[in-house]
Amino acid sequence: MKNVYVAKPNLNNERGQMEFDNIKAAVNYLSSFMPHDYPNLKADDWHLIGKLYEKSGATDWLNIEKK
């Protein structure tokens, strides 16, 4: 089954929400809303602030180090 990633630029509504078949495109889309001098966030960072998630709810795509 193909993963679908949801990028949600607005936390309070679904305006601008889009679905992508790869993480890089979703991260680039979210980054396009940020000021040019703002540091680039990774997919894990976008997920932590609630703006990027996998449609099925899976989290195995995250790069969380297990200790």
pTM as predicted: 0.85
The answer for residues whose C-beta is within 8 angstroms of residue 22's C-beta and 6 or more apart is 5
pLDDT in tens, 31-56: 999 998 999 899 999 999 999 999 98
pLDDT in tens, 14-37: 999 999 999 999 999 999 999 989
Q: What percent of the chain has pLDDT over 90?
A: 72
Cα 55 from Cα 38, distance rounded (Å)? 27
